[in-house]
Chains A and B, each alone.
Chain A
Amino acid sequence: MNDYLAVFIFIVMALGFTAAGLITAYLVRTSRPSLKKNETYECGEEPVGGAWIQFNMRYYVFALLFVVFDVEAVFLFPWAVVFKSFGVSALVELLVFLGILLAGLLYAWKKGSLQWE
Chain B
Amino acid sequence: MLLLLLFAAIAIIAAILVVSMKNIMHCALFLALFLLSVAGIFFCLDADFLGIVQILVYVGGIIVLILFAVMLTSRVSSALLEQTNEQKGLAITACLLLASAITAAAFRTPLVTSFYTADPEGTTRSTGELLLTVYALPFEIASVVLLVALIGAIVLAGKKGE
Alpha-carbon separation in the docked complex, A100 to B56 (Å)? 22
Q: A1-B44, A77-B49 are in contact. Are A54 and B71 (CB under 8 A)?
A: yes
**How many Å from the CB of B54 to the closest CB on chain A?**
10
CB-CB under 8 A for A78 and B151, given A50-B77, A52-B71, A100-B140: no
A28 at the interface (CB under 8 A from B): no
Q: Does B17 contact A (CB under 8 A)?
A: no
Knowing A86-B132, A111-B154 touch, does A67 contact B3 (C-beta < 8 A)? no
Whether A77 lies near B139 (C-beta < 8 A) is: no
In the complex, B114 has a CB within 8 A of chain A: no
**CB distance B131 to A75 under 8 Å?**
yes
Interface size on B, residues (CB 8 A): 52
- What CA separation (Å) do A96 and B147 show in the bound complex? 13
Docked pose: A66 CA to B57 CA in angstroms: 10
Q: Which residues of A contact B77 (CB under 8 A)?
A: 50, 52-54
When distances are taken between beta carbons in the complex, the residues of chain B under 8 Å from A25 are none
Within 8 A of B (CB), among A60-117: 60-61, 63-68, 70-75, 77-82, 86, 89-90, 93, 96-98, 100-101, 103-105, 107-108, 111-113
B157: chain A residues within 8 A (beta carbon): 57, 60-61, 64
Closest A residue to B153 using CB positions: A64
Residues of A with C-beta under 8 A to B71: 52, 54-55, 59
Given A59-B68, A104-B147, A113-B158, also A74-B3 (CB < 8 A): no
A100 partner residues in chain B, CB cutoff 8 A: 140, 143-144, 146-147
Residues on B facing A (Cβ under 8 Å): 3, 25, 40, 43-44, 46, 48-49, 51-53, 56-57, 60-62, 64-65, 68-69, 71-74, 76-77, 79, 121-122, 124-125, 127-129, 131-132, 136, 139-140, 142-144, 146-147, 149-151, 153-154, 157-158, 162
Q: 25 A-B contacts, Cβ less than 8 Å apart?
A: A50-B77, A52-B77, A52-B79, A54-B74, A60-B68, A61-B158, A63-B64, A63-B65, A64-B65, A64-B150, A65-B153, A67-B57, A68-B149, A68-B150, A72-B143, A75-B131, A78-B127, A80-B128, A93-B136, A96-B140, A97-B142, A97-B143, A100-B147, A101-B150, A111-B154
Taking Cβ atoms with an 8 Å cutoff, the residues of A that contact B are 1, 3-4, 7-8, 50, 52-55, 57, 59-61, 63-68, 70-75, 77-82, 86, 89-90, 93, 96-98, 100-101, 103-105, 107-108, 111-113
